[in-house]
Structure 1
């Protein structure tokens, strides 16, 4: 069983229940050492059950090997698509510019062929923190969503990339270049596109490239589009903020990595943004409205609000298909 599976979660719960029962049975023995050990086992098993549940929600550690090493090195959800459906494959990106060597998962749409002549538009899909690309693939069931939207004609056949934005699941980069740390922005905007263009049949122009992300990945999508209009033409943010919420190392989290500061003080790029938020999700809702007020031509902003909801998987599932459909209307079409 994978670390983020339902089976692992229920096993942890069962162990915690057994520990509590065992603790009640030994309590009357009168032996302090036995009570102490039993109590410790109860606390440890309860904590393990809770952490297993949390991990399943965010997929920070998808596999057992990722728990003791790099999650990026162990997390390889490769799936073969059904006939007439897309498939997910794995690409290892050896970052020449960033120095990061991480896997990237790629959804290849129905009809895709490495030997074909069609070049497809590309969307980079960014995960939240804590999290990993597995959250898109497993919890958000992105392949099924993309298959359905493409089959229905609401989305053009598109290659979707699922990169890591951190080499360590305990380090939140917010897709930025950290001073003295991981160069996540360079990895995502230079190394990943270069590797995809070399490996897959994709468009090479900025008009054919977009971004999407949820939670921290939503901030990433908006921020990278504003910072790199020469690489991307559109971005969709699902429950994203306008600021990184971490220390970059040089104070730039308050200036150039702050999207509101950027729109107020720097030239506005000609890109399109899709900002989705639940009305009950306070910070993303506040920042979405602030970005709308700060936006001016040539920047274009489209908003989408969900009544109720919150900052959770169910909300992102509701936002997912409309956001991909919108992106498809903004990106250049597949190029024969």
Structure 2
């Protein structure tokens, strides 16, 4: 059982319940030092299993650690070979050498059915960014991205597109917000330089900015809009699902208050000719407020489209409901496959 599976979470909950029963059953057993030792041992067992169950339920929701090796801190890589799955498209994995960033990490890539059927075509690309805590498995498991992509492309609402699922947290417990942290991981460089370079080496994709876009949820939503605003020479469009306008972390050089603050950029710098899509639930007050602020500050040549759902909190259910319309919208702004 994987650490993010429902079976693992249920097993841990069962163990925690049994530990609580054991604690109650043995509380008044024995006497003296033996009683104290027994109480201490069963209390530690109860607390440990309860904490483990809580952590596994959280991991089941957000997919921070999709495998036991990831939980142990081990990094794995793979060549661009097909992964198992039952979709019209194909999911492959490739390793990105960190030539510019120093980060060498595996990424997943969704290849639409047309990638097989049109062997000379070069396809537009979307980088899909996850939240924190989280991992690319959030897109692939909880948000069922490959199924949604298959549906939208088959229905003609989206052009055949390659979608990349890179990690933006080399250390799952360190929030980078897709920036180059001072003295830390250079995640922005990894996502904007190394990932495109590796993808263009191994996959038949467009290399021009008209063929590249971004999408993200939660912290990944901030990543998508911020990277697009910072690199309009590389990306034509970006979509944010319940993202924010500021990073919410200390980057180390003060740019969390200036160049990496999207509201500051729109107030103080020329606005680029890109298109942004900002979606959130109205009840997700921070994300909704920031989307409204960005939309209010935007002016040509920057284009901002908003899509607000009534109610809705900050959750995977909201993001799954929003992802298909967001992918469709991105496709209208991206260039078509080149033949």
- Name the TM tier (shorter chain): over 0.9
Equivalent position of 2:43 in the other structure: 39
Distance 1:202 1:73, change over 3 A: closer
Question: Are residues 1:79 and 2:83 paired?
Answer: yes
Unaligned 5+ residue runs, structure 2?
A: none
CA contact (8 A) 1:279 1:285 kept: yes
CA displacement 1:138-186 (0-9 Å, x = unmatched): 0000000000000100000000000011210011000001111110000
TM-score (norm 2): 0.96
Secondary structure of the residue aligned to 1:112 is helix
**Equivalent position to 2:188, from 165, 185, 188:** 185
Equivalent position of 1:128 in the other structure: 131
Equivalent position of 1:245 in the other structure: 248
Q: CA deviation at 1:65?
A: 1.2
RMSD (Å) for aligned C-alpha atoms? 1.7
Distance 1:53 1:157, change over 3 A: same
Secondary structure of the residue aligned to 1:29 is coil
Moved more, 278-287 or 59-68: 59-68
Aligned counterparts of 1:241 and 1:103: Cα–Cα separation in 2 = 27
Q: CA deviation at 1:285?
A: 0.6
CA contact (8 A) 2:81 2:94 kept: no
CA contact (8 A) 2:83 2:93 kept: no
Equivalent position of 1:268 in the other structure: 271
Mapping for residues 280-299 of structure 1, pairs under 5 Å = 280-299=283-302
CA displacement 1:268-327 (0-9 Å, x = unmatched): 100000000100001101100100111011000000001111000100011010000000
Equivalent position of 2:67 in the other structure: 63
Aligned counterparts of 2:231 and 2:116: Cα–Cα separation in 1 = 29
TM-score (norm 1): 0.96
Question: Are residues 1:171 and 2:170 paired?
Answer: no
Equivalent position of 2:319 in the other structure: 316
CA contact (8 A) 1:118 1:334 kept: yes
Aligned counterparts of 2:130 and 2:277: Cα–Cα separation in 1 = 17
CA contact (8 A) 1:70 1:167 kept: no
CA contact (8 A) 1:255 1:262 kept: yes
Distance 1:71 1:14, change over 3 A: farther
Aligned counterparts of 1:266 and 1:57: Cα–Cα separation in 2 = 38
Distance 1:77 1:51, change over 3 A: farther
Q: CA deviation at 1:70?
A: 3.8
CA contact (8 A) 1:71 1:169 kept: no
Equivalent position of 1:23 in the other structure: 23
Equivalent position of 2:306 in the other structure: 303
Aligned counterparts of 1:132 and 1:110: Cα–Cα separation in 2 = 25
Q: CA deviation at 1:61?
A: 1.1
Equivalent position of 2:144 in the other structure: 141
What count of residue pairs does the alignment treat as equivalent? Answer: 334
Q: CA deviation at 1:36?
A: 1.1
CA contact (8 A) 2:99 2:194 kept: yes
Aligned counterparts of 2:261 and 2:51: Cα–Cα separation in 1 = 36
